Amino acid sequence: MDIAQERRLVTEVPGPKSRELLERRIVSVPRGVFYTAPVFVEAASGAVLRDVDGNSLIDLGSGLAVLNVGNAHPAVVEAVRDQAGRLTHTCMHVTMNEPYLALAERLNSLVPGEGARRTMLVNSGAEAVENAVKIARYFTKRSAVVVFDHAFHGRTQLAMTMTAKVMPYRYGFPSTAPDIHRLPFAYPYRCPMGGTSPEACAESCAAYAIEEMDKHIGPETIACVVVEPIMGEGGFVVPAPGFLPRIADYCARKNILFVADEVQTGIGRTGRWFGIEHEGIVPDLVVMAKSLAGGLPLGAVTGREDVMESVHPGGLGGTFGGNPVACAAALAVLEIVEREGLLERARRIGDIARSRLQEMAARFPIVGDVRGRGAMVAIELVEDPDTKAPAKEAAGRLIEECYRQGVIVLKAGTHDNVVRLLPPLSIDEGLIREGLDVLEKALATVEERAPVSP
Ligand code: PLZ
């Protein structure tokens, strides 16, 4: 569908039709399934969502990091139509289909590193994480899994246990997944070790993490370290420079597999194909989902041939994993990223956003930190720049003010005080600027109402 790439409000947001659907939703879908904006979308294209009331909203959330190539990209739609017209499913464990193969070949050559790779396909990020851990445990014959503060790895039992934040992800859901260990993450703005410079933060956190692995977990029991190159749900925390390379180096020395969870950072979001490339690390396994198939559900684990091949035949899989329609969409997505130069665009969009957000930070004391890489940018809101007390309510109000004005932005952060932008990488520069104008105005309203320190 051709939808003009513009913001245009014809009713208040949410409008009467969205409100009516919300009423139906309340009595048919459990409240546990949360939503950011009380808006129902009827059609979308590129970076614009058309809601059921006819409003056109600027999408700076990409349906939670899924639409790097934009919504309903014509080449993705065409690939899906074409594939669905041939066959919709075979199940790779019954008879096989070529799109699965073609995508595996493509991902094998795309991930960092020189050696041979293998790819298995699944349905979601959580399922990809679960499989990466299964494979790492099988290959190493070790069971411990190391994860970090602020991590999000999914909502299934194991992935949920690997996820840091208790509320809302783990609260009330007892876990039986054993041998998961959490270590501090080098978060420069709030260094858990009290480091006052990024270098000191990286150094102290890495030293602590390594000592923990050495003394308390035991490197000979650790199958893998799983880490997001930039914490996504955890608040777009870019690790202090040098932290991840030191962890990766330790892993290599102790034969611990390094697993990059690229579910949110992958497929060009940070201006490189994979976020881990910024760290100069070659991961043993790479986990992908979200933007991989342009909106169709698909996840992947791509890794070292020896590691991936270690599992016996029949040890890996699932009914829908690598559905041919989703694979066709993914092949189209990867081609679009190249053809439209979206890595370059991610950097450009990110530069525009970061410089505007930095100006806002200079104007509004509530903006404590501006950070990100490529088109993965966020502001962390604080009640007071000195105490850095998280401004959670203000973040909620900011998001609400934005959608009321027709711009969708997302919340993140362990303290719920981070507002993040994940625009489609193909977004018009004018549209991102307009989205930022709205954000700035919203910030002014929120700041006005922020508590004034005595
Ligand atoms: N790993 C790094 O960001 C999903 C989920 C939304 P699934 N993040 C947003 C929500 O509130 O559930 C995510 C991620 C990273 C894994 C996952 C899990 O991916 O496809 O949602 O299972």
pLDDT at 453 over 70: no
What distance, in Å, lies between the first and last C-alpha atoms of the chain? 53
Q: What is the mean pLDDT of residues 136-157?
A: 98
Token code pair at residue 3? 């939808």
Ligand 1: centre distance to CA 60 (Å)? 17
Q: Look up tokens 């009516």; give the residue.
A: 20
- Which domains, from first to last, does the chain contain? 16-59+341-448 (3.90.1150.10), 75-339 (3.40.640.10)
Give the position, in ligand 1's atom list, of the atom nearest the Cα of 124: 20
- Which pLDDT score, from 0 to 100, does residue 448 have? 77
Q: Is 233 in the pocket of ligand 1 (CB under 6 A)?
A: yes
Ligand 1: centre distance to CA 327 (Å)? 19
CA distance 256 to 246: 13
% residues pLDDT > 90 (the chain): 98
Token code pair at residue 262? 């690229």
Q: Is 124 in the pocket of ligand 1 (CB under 6 A)?
A: yes
Task: Name, in order, each residue with C-beta under 8 angstroms of 93's C-beta and a sequence gap of 6 or more.
Answer: 317, 319
Ligand 1: centre distance to CA 125 (Å)? 6
DSSP per-residue codes, 318-367:
-SSTT-HHHHHHHHHHHHHHHHTTHHHHHHHHHHHHHHHHHHHHHH-TTE
Task: Name, in order, each residue with C-beta under 8 angstroms of 286's C-beta and a sequence gap of 6 or more.
Answer: 111, 112, 259, 260, 262, 266, 274, 276, 300, 301, 302, 303
Task: Name, in order, each residue with C-beta under 8 angstroms of 252's C-beta and a sequence gap of 6 or more.
Answer: 258
- Which pLDDT score, from 0 to 100, does residue 406 have? 98
Q: Is 228 in the pocket of ligand 1 (CB under 6 A)?
A: yes
pLDDT at 204 over 60: yes
pLDDT, tens only, 78-129: 999 999 999 999 999 999 999 999 999 999 999 999 999 999 999 999 999 9
% residues pLDDT > 70 (the chain): 99
Ligand 1: centre distance to CA 323 (Å)? 19
Q: What is the mean pLDDT of residues 413-440?
A: 98
Ligand 1: residue whose CA is nearest its atom 7: 125
CA distance 323 to 240: 38
Task: Name, in order, each residue with C-beta under 8 angstroms of 38's C-beta and a sequence gap of 6 or more.
Answer: 14, 18, 19, 22
- Which pLDDT score, from 0 to 100, does residue 454 have? 47
**What pTM value is reported for the model?**
0.98
Mean pLDDT, rounded, of the chain: 97
324 and 89 Cβ atoms separated by less than 8 Å: yes
Q: Is 53 in the pocket of ligand 1 (CB under 6 A)?
A: no
pLDDT, tens only, 234-244: 999 999 999 99
Q: What is the mean pLDDT of residues 359-387?
A: 97
Ligand 1: centre distance to CA 264 (Å)? 7
pLDDT, tens only, 274-287: 999 999 999 999 99
pLDDT, tens only, 312-347: 999 999 999 999 999 999 999 999 999 999 999 999
Confidence of residue 451 (pLDDT cuts 50, 70, 90): low
Ligand 1: residue whose CA is nearest its atom 6: 64
Give the position, in ligand 1's atom list, of the atom nearest the Cα of 154: 18
pLDDT at 450 over 90: no
- Which pLDDT score, from 0 to 100, does residue 1 have? 72
Element (H, E) at 371: strand 367-373
Task: Name, in order, each residue with C-beta under 8 angstroms of 434's C-beta and a sequence gap of 6 or more.
Answer: 7, 58
176 and 254 Cβ atoms separated by less than 8 Å: no
Give the position, in ligand 1's atom list, of the atom nearest the Cα of 126: 22
Q: What is the mean pLDDT of residues 145-154?
A: 98
Q: What is the b/e burial string over 437-448, where b = at least 16 CB atoms within 10 angstroms of the residue's CB? A: ebbeebbeebbe
- Which pLDDT score, from 0 to 100, does residue 366 have? 97
CA distance 450 to 366: 8
